[in-house]
Amino acid sequence: MAGLRFMIVLDGFIPESSTGVEVAGVKIPTAFASKIPAIRAEVRSIKTFVGTMNRTLGGQELSLSAKYHICYHDEDPTKPCEPARDI
């Protein structure tokens, strides 16, 4: 059976912005922060749909993953990133 393999990888670092809006404890540019509720809603919708399809079809790999974390990779001195959280 043919199907559409739907893969999205969005791995981007959004630096702090002193004039931005606080999201999950970090101030980020307002232009991006304002998009997060819509992005989050769509990602969750896709996860729900794909998860339902995977359960219905059975045998499909459970590859649902959409996460974010507070990233400190540029901190000096270095500091570990916070644990990844589901979107």
Q: Which residues bind Zn ion (CB under 5 A)?
A: 71, 73, 81
In the numeric block, the tokens 């399809």 are attached to 53
Q: Nearest distance from residue 64's CB to Zn ion, in Å?
A: 21
Instruction: Select 28 or 50, whichever has its Cβ closest to Zn ion.
Output: 28
CA dihedral (70, 81, 83, 7) positive or negative? positive
The three-state DSSP-derived secondary structure of 12-44 is: CCCCCCCCCEEECCEEECHHHHCCHHHHHHHHH
Q: Nearest distance from residue 49's CB to Zn ion, in Å?
A: 28
Q: Nearest distance from residue 13's CB to Zn ion, in Å?
A: 8
Instruction: Select 47 or 68, whichever has its Cβ closest to Zn ion.
Output: 68
